Structure 1
């Protein structure tokens, strides 16, 4: 399945997940083929994107950062521990040690030059937490940090957004640049609240605690909560990885495409993010995740079906014309080898 903006629906798409009202009642169930008359209704609800079935799934060979079943297990563990801490009077979070070590071990087993598919999606706090941890440890490994530092990074990432559980301001898929000052103040408290909530957890290394406090600080000292120019590499890693996953999942900002998120990160090098960290992040993440439909400079349409060792030049399957509602499939094309063909735009 893949996410698609409601504004570009044409009708005929099949829902992979239900469309819900603001009270989480099912308006349109999964498996429904979208009719053109449904589109204005969906827009009227303020829904800007939906999950649809991928018609080319049988041709695709995605490379997730870890096995999806393992990812879901980490998410459930993080949810259980975080909710236990909130609802059971500060119950210890020491079990995060096990998760951190497991994630470091799992990332160590991935080929160091692996290009991973991470799609634009709608994520909750726990999914975002796990993805930031995986990305940060992957970047730390590329930077040749030792096992202890990778473990401390994993702990800091797993706990970095615990403060969001203590605020009342909505933070999913919203633009804070126009937020009410009182709401903005409430939102920015989450770094301090998270740091304070961990003060009794004496097993956490000081650098991991600093990551929790400073993951929204910037290189030029314009972030929050204290406008610090952090020099620690651990902090620089989480700042970039957290920002990237937030942009593509709508955590604490408006969601955008992978391509736009990568562009925004690159444009903020040396002002917000460390150049060396960003270089290693970009070398690990596919610019065009498997399932992305594209148009080439040869005016051909295709779908990304797998990655190469170049994150900007995947293997695509060229699509032909429709015949009785079925799209004819043409040849596969490795864009790393086709020097005269490049992706012009995402469609």
Structure 2
């Protein structure tokens, strides 16, 4: 699956994700062939980009698409009905977290796989579900207790509830570019969220801390309390790593980044801002170049990532589509970069 701008479409691409209205009415279903007249109509609706299928790409997602959509509908419905200190309906999020955990565990050899996590738009509900999935999988790899994993799942679904009490436009806007008053307001959202649920006895203290501490950093550079490593619970440190990554690839309060850029960011601040053990666990299942990505090899050839290699997240199986002179290949050329050691991926391509 590949995200493409409408201006890049030439027609006859196959839609990889259904196009829906805000209330989940299907405009075009997954699998439809995008004829040129469809593209014009989509553009008129203000949709700027779509996901199309990439041939021979074997994508592996943490949650299956239909399951993620079902959980997203439930989470969106619960959170949109929520008002300040009217928290009874939020209890439904505990069931949603358990559904995520159950579906992850239902995946065969889930602990052994490398998953294709890809950049996408800054939908706050999708962000919460993806964060929950990634943090749960990280906690499973770290062999944490089931009750802690459950709290992490619930905490992730609730972590940004404080953003509902702000009127800020944070999509694709870097914190560095925010006006001082807007930045100050944005940095209060963990406090707003915590305050709204702190008296609820059905929410564990662990979940409440995740809501309040998910932007704290080990070196004290986070917010809102500027805590240091010893003051930040381990579960909150897990959420912090996964949240930082997902915010980068979504473009939440920053410019949207490619997956490989977010991976490099975590590596750069490992044992500085983020717990090194957690970063290693997270990166152990995260493909640097998701299936369907266009990449440039060290030989100057353009390729598409076909599938991943366990334990070698930056050395996938690729299909060469253009030679170093930019000419299309007439015959199929597949390289497994674990076996072909003198070739590596130079960079990702747009």
TM-score, structure 1 as length reference: 0.84
Which residue does the alignment assign to 1:218? 217
Does the CA-based 8 Å contact 2:297-2:347 persist in structure 1? yes
Q: 1:111-161, CA deviations, whole angstroms, 9 ceiling, x for partnerless residues?
A: 212100011111301000000000000000010101111011111111001
C-alpha displacement at 1:91, in angstroms?
A: 4.0
| Secondary structure at the counterpart of residue 242 of structure 1 | helix
TM-score, structure 2 as length reference: 0.83
Q: 1:101 to 1:59 in 2, by over 3 A?
A: same
The reply to whether residue 63 of structure 1 matches residue 65 of structure 2 is no
Q: 1:72-116, CA deviations, whole angstroms, 9 ceiling, x for partnerless residues?
A: 111111101111213894443111221122222222333212100
Cα distance in 2, alignment partners of residues 88 and 197 from structure 1 = 6
Which residue does the alignment assign to 2:100? 103
Q: 1:231-284, CA deviations, whole angstroms, 9 ceiling, x for partnerless residues?
A: 421011000000100000112221010011111111112221110110111111
Q: 1:257 to 1:79 in 2, by over 3 A?
A: same
Which residue does the alignment assign to 2:22? none
Which residue does the alignment assign to 2:254? 253
Aligned length: 321
Q: 1:187-215, CA deviations, whole angstroms, 9 ceiling, x for partnerless residues?
A: 11110111111124211110111010010
Which residue does the alignment assign to 1:304? 305
Cα distance in 2, alignment partners of residues 52 and 63 from structure 1 = 15
For residues 184-223 of structure 1, the aligned pairs below 5 Å read: 184-223=183-222
Cα distance in 2, alignment partners of residues 102 and 11 from structure 1 = 36
Does the CA-based 8 Å contact 2:298-2:345 persist in structure 1? yes
| Secondary structure at the counterpart of residue 221 of structure 2 | coil
| Secondary structure at the counterpart of residue 305 of structure 1 | strand
For residues 312-323 of structure 1, the aligned pairs below 5 Å read: 312-320=314-322
Which residue does the alignment assign to 2:2? 2
Does the CA-based 8 Å contact 1:304-1:315 persist in structure 2? yes
The reply to whether residue 138 of structure 1 matches residue 137 of structure 2 is yes
Which residue does the alignment assign to 1:345? 347
Which residue does the alignment assign to 2:80? 83
Cα distance in 2, alignment partners of residues 87 and 318 from structure 1 = 54
| Secondary structure at the counterpart of residue 157 of structure 1 | helix
The reply to whether residue 149 of structure 1 matches residue 160 of structure 2 is no
C-alpha displacement at 1:340, in angstroms?
A: 1.4
| Secondary structure at the counterpart of residue 303 of structure 1 | strand
C-alpha displacement at 1:345, in angstroms?
A: 1.6
Does the CA-based 8 Å contact 1:320-1:328 persist in structure 2? no
Q: 1:217 to 1:329 in 2, by over 3 A?
A: farther
C-alpha displacement at 1:336, in angstroms?
A: 1.2
Q: Which runs of 5+ in 1 are unaligned?
A: 19-25
C-alpha displacement at 1:326, in angstroms?
A: 8.1
Does the CA-based 8 Å contact 1:128-1:251 persist in structure 2? no
Does the CA-based 8 Å contact 2:298-2:344 persist in structure 1? yes
Cα distance in 1, alignment partners of residues 85 and 218 from structure 2 = 37
C-alpha displacement at 1:58, in angstroms?
A: 3.0
| Secondary structure at the counterpart of residue 91 of structure 2 | coil
